[in-house]
Amino acid sequence: MLTHLFDRLGTRVLKAFSEAGDFAVLSGRTFIAVFKRPFDSANLMRQFLAVGVNSIPVITLTSLAISMVFAVQLSYGFRQFQAEGLASQVQGLAIVRELAPVITGLMMAGRVGSAMAAELGTMQVTEQIDALECLATDPIHYLFVPRLLAAMVMLPLLTGFSVYVGFWGGYALLVGVTGQSASVYSSEFYKLLAFRDVRIALTKALVFGVIIALVGCWRGYRTRGGAEGVGNAPTSSVVTSSLWILISDFFLTKLLLV
Amino acid sequence: MEPVIEAVHLSKAFGPKVVLSDVNFSVQEGESLAVMGGSGSGKTVLLRTIMGLLTPDSGHVAVEGNVIQALDRQTLFEVRKKIGMCFQMAALFDSMSVEENIGFALTRHTDMSKAEIAERVDECLTLVGLRNCQKLRPAELSGGMKRRVGFARAIALKPQILLFDEPTTGLDPVMTDVIGRVILDLKHQLGVTTITITHDLKSAFEIADRIALLFRGEIIACQPPAEFKANPNPVIQQFLRGDAEGPFLTDPPPPKRSTNSVSHQALVP
């Protein structure tokens, strides 16, 4: 009974290490392949469109919703001890430091990471990735690199966009509904913020972009077993990358705020 | 003369299942070899090992003297440019049009202009008997058309070796004949060395200079079609007859019933 338990535990630990090793090797190969020729600009542009431009509606909606709900909570909370004026300052701080990068990261893990896993997974089970190999094309260079670059560029841009939308979400609620002065809100929003906060937000977004692209591509590339495998790839990609976004968010915050 | 493709003591197992146990053969320049064998006998594994998509457990494959498994990736890609691989289900890139599929390797590996690529794509499509379908998507093509676009993609870089993985499986007899003719045309017009994996006896006898039979992980015969037909080996004779009775199957087949003895009326309650 006990040996059986250890046996199963050992198998799981070994599997986890082998997966981590595989992910590390593929990630390393991707970063090396970034500098290889030929540079496929058309492919990169397609990824910029898929990762960045096409994600604007979903980022707008989620950022607006989260910022408005957060403003409601803040104005209610601060009203308890007659400090409504602080709501806009905390709104700015929360959106720039945490909400914009994390919400963008999680939404993109769901929208873009899963799409990458599904696309590469389908290509894997229909032998299209083998066909790439046979046409003397490195799948890592052709498939991983443009997705990684697109995510690394677009996640920070979308995070910036999310901050902008968050500002107006808070504005609509705090100025439009609770009756705060527009000029006070606009100046207070940035009051507690320093350039460092913007840098932290963009660094987080960059790291989240790397996680989303690499995990999505890796899960897709390692898809086995037909329709079921293709079905599992996006799910496990979203779960894995969301988890790593949250874990890395904690450590990045701890490290960068020091 | 040095063979173009040579397999030496090749073996490959997936877990406990041994697929290839000791495969030896060689193919000379300009020769076409048809490899036949039962379903699951490791024919596709053999082809994938030649391409370097699978690594053998022991033994090796050499293409023009280069041992595939010993090459670094860059050299492997250089060798692969000389080989055209046609997949069983064509494996066309479904996000691209027919033209982009065929021109893929040309765009990446040559300095050809767009007009030159378009011309070469047209040339390749003509060779496989498909014209004016450059703009179609793979989803809009029938099974036979997909295979032929796959052939066109494989020959775009003018390879010296062509590998066909079950090019006629799942097609009707007429389309099977069309594909057989296309393969013969490619062989005569391009003078390439080919290995064709097939189940189809008729097309194998038409296209091959030599026929090999893969049985329980080994090649038990590799002979010109006439000699292959006359080979007294009971496994080969059973395969040629297409009969379930004999040494070919490991598990005994279900008993054969006479169709006359089953009356539909008797089954209706």
The interface pTM score, or ipTM, of the predicted complex is 0.88
Give the chain B residue nearest A119 (alpha carbons): B95
B82 pLDDT higher than 80: yes
> Is the CB of A135 less than 8 angstroms away from the CB of B105?
yes
B259 pLDDT higher than 70: no
- Taking contacts as CB-CB distances below 8 angstroms, the residues of chain A near B92 are 128, 131
Pick the more confident residue, A81 or A150. Answer: A150
Q: Which of the residue ranges B21-35, B95-109, B149-163, B186-200 would you say has the lowest mean pLDDT?
A: B186-200
Pick the more confident residue, A180 or A148. Answer: A148
> Is the CB of B83 less than 8 angstroms away from the CB of A131?
no
Amino acid at B40: G
Predicted local distance difference test score (pLDDT) of residue B246? 75
SS3 category, B1: coil
Residues 29-68 of B with CB under 8 A from A: 48, 51-53
Pairing mode, if any, of strands B83-86 and B17-27?
A: unpaired
B252 pLDDT higher than 80: no
Predicted local distance difference test score (pLDDT) of residue B132? 84
Predicted local distance difference test score (pLDDT) of residue B269? 61
Q: Is residue A24 part of a domain?
A: no
| Contact assessment for residue A104 and residue A158, using Cβ atoms and an 8 Å cutoff | yes
Asked if the peptide bond before residue A139 counts as cis, ω within 30 degrees of 0, the response is no
> Is the CB of B53 less than 8 angstroms away from the CB of A135?
no
Predicted local distance difference test score (pLDDT) of residue B88? 87
Residues 40-99 of A with CB under 8 A from B: 40
Closest CA to B192 of B2, B27, B77, B8: B27
Phi and psi at B213, nearest 5°, equal -115, 125
Phi and psi at B12, nearest 5°, equal -150, 130
A244 pLDDT higher than 80: yes
Residue A88 CB burial class (10 angstroms; 0-12, 13-18, ≥19): buried
Q: Which of the residue ranges A35-39, A59-63, A97-101, A242-246 would you say has the lowest mean pLDDT?
A: A35-39
- Taking contacts as CB-CB distances below 8 angstroms, the residues of chain A near B117 are none
H or E, element range at B210: strand B210-215
Put simply, whether A1 touches B (Cβ < 8 Å) is no
CA–CA distances in Å: residue A111 to residues A59, A116, A187, A207, A242: 10, 9, 34, 17, 12
Residue A166 CB burial class (10 angstroms; 0-12, 13-18, ≥19): buried
Predicted local distance difference test score (pLDDT) of residue A82? 84
Direct distance between the N- and C-terminal alpha carbons of chain B, in angstroms, rounded to an integer: 71
- Separation between Cα atoms, residue B243 and residue B234, nearest integer Å: 11
Q: Is residue A185 part of a domain?
A: yes
Give the chain B residue nearest A127 (alpha carbons): B91
- Spell out the domain ranges in chain B: 1-82+160-165+195-269
- Separation between Cα atoms, residue B63 and residue B83, nearest integer Å: 9
Amino acid at A22: D
- Separation between Cα atoms, residue B137 and residue B122, nearest integer Å: 16
SS3 category, A170: helix
> Is the CB of A136 less than 8 angstroms away from the CB of B80?
yes
Overall average pLDDT of the B212-232 stretch: 89
- Distance from B81 to chain A by nearest Cα, in Å? 6
> pLDDT category, B78, cuts 50, 70, 90?
very high
Q: What is the pLDDT of residues A5-26, one digit of tens each?
A: 999 999 999 999 999 999 999 9
Q: What is the mean pLDDT of chain B?
A: 87
Predicted local distance difference test score (pLDDT) of residue A169? 93
> Is the CB of A136 less than 8 angstroms away from the CB of B89?
no
Pick the more confident residue, B252 or B146. Answer: B146
- Taking contacts as CB-CB distances below 8 angstroms, the residues of chain A near B109 are 136
B41 pLDDT higher than 90: no
A108 pLDDT higher than 90: yes
| Number of inter-chain CB pairs under 8 A, A vs B | 54
Residue B135, token pair as written in the block: 């703009």
> Is the CB of B91 less than 8 angstroms away from the CB of A136?
no
Q: At what angle do helices B98-109 and B114-127 cross, to 10 degrees?
A: 120
Pairing mode, if any, of strands B193-197 and B161-165?
A: parallel
Pick the more confident residue, A67 or A226. Answer: A67
Overall average pLDDT of the B35-58 stretch: 90
Predicted local distance difference test score (pLDDT) of residue B183? 83
Q: What is the pLDDT of residues A66-83, one digit of tens each?
A: 999 999 999 999 888 888
Percent of chain B at pLDDT exceeding 90: 42
- Taking contacts as CB-CB distances below 8 angstroms, the residues of chain B near A131 are 85, 87, 91-93, 153
Predicted local distance difference test score (pLDDT) of residue B267? 60
Predicted local distance difference test score (pLDDT) of residue B268? 64
Which fold does the domain B1-82+160-165+195-269 belong to in CATH?
A: Rossmann fold (3.40.50)
Q: Is residue A214 part of a domain?
A: yes
B89 pLDDT higher than 70: yes
Pick the more confident residue, B202 or A143. Answer: A143
- Taking contacts as CB-CB distances below 8 angstroms, the residues of chain B near A135 are 80, 104-105, 108, 153, 157
- Separation between Cα atoms, residue A66 and residue A72, nearest integer Å: 10
For residue A42, count other CB atoms closer than 10 A to its CB: 8
Q: At CA A93, angle to CA A73 and CA A78, rounded to 5?
A: 35
For residue A41, count other CB atoms closer than 10 A to its CB: 9
B253 pLDDT higher than 80: no
Give the CB-side neighbour count of residue B249, counting CA atoms within 13 A. 9
Residue B146 CB burial class (10 angstroms; 0-12, 13-18, ≥19): buried
Give the chain A residue nearest B155 (alpha carbons): A135
Q: Is residue A129 part of a domain?
A: yes
How are strands ordered across the β-sheet holding B161-165?
B66-67, B58-63, B5-14, B17-27, B218-223, B210-215, B32-37, B193-197, B161-165, B83-86
The whole-model pTM stands at 0.89
> Is the CB of B85 less than 8 angstroms away from the CB of A134?
yes
Give the chain B residue nearest A46 (alpha carbons): B95
Q: What is the pLDDT of residues B233-246, one digit of tens each?
A: 888 888 888 877 77
A181 pLDDT higher than 90: no
- Distance from B178 to chain A by nearest Cα, in Å? 23
For residue A172, count other CB atoms closer than 10 A to its CB: 14
B201 pLDDT higher than 90: no
> pLDDT category, A112, cuts 50, 70, 90?
very high
- Taking contacts as CB-CB distances below 8 angstroms, the residues of chain A near B53 are 130, 133-134
> Is the CB of B53 less than 8 angstroms away from the CB of A38?
no
- Separation between Cα atoms, residue B44 and residue B199, nearest integer Å: 12
- Taking contacts as CB-CB distances below 8 angstroms, the residues of chain A near B80 are 133-136
| Contact assessment for residue B192 and residue B159, using Cβ atoms and an 8 Å cutoff | yes
B262 pLDDT higher than 70: no
If one counts the domains in chain A, the total is 1
Closest CA to A220 of A122, A134, A152: A122
- Taking contacts as CB-CB distances below 8 angstroms, the residues of chain B near A134 are 51, 53, 80, 83, 85, 154
Q: What is the pLDDT of residues A31-58, one digit of tens each?
A: 999 998 888 888 999 999 999 999 999 9
> Is the CB of B77 less than 8 angstroms away from the CB of A136?
yes
Q: Is residue A123 part of a domain?
A: yes
Please, what sign has the CA dihedral across residues A15, A20, A23, A25? negative
- Separation between Cα atoms, residue B48 and residue B53, nearest integer Å: 5
> Is the CB of A128 less than 8 angstroms away from the CB of B108?
no
The beta strand positions in A20-169, using DSSP E, are: none
Residues 169-208 of B with CB under 8 A from A: none
> Is the CB of A131 less than 8 angstroms away from the CB of B81?
no
> Is the CB of A136 less than 8 angstroms away from the CB of B87?
no
Pick the more confident residue, A226 or A102. Answer: A102
Dihedral over alpha carbons A132, A137, A139, A140 (to 10 degrees): 180
Amino acid at A35: F
> Is the CB of A135 less than 8 angstroms away from the CB of B91?
no
| Contact assessment for residue B7 and residue B217, using Cβ atoms and an 8 Å cutoff | no
Predicted local distance difference test score (pLDDT) of residue B261? 58
Predicted local distance difference test score (pLDDT) of residue B1? 73
CA–CA distances in Å: residue B18 to residues B9, B24, B68, B151, B215: 14, 16, 21, 31, 12
H or E, element range at B212: strand B210-215
Residue B254 CB burial class (10 angstroms; 0-12, 13-18, ≥19): exposed
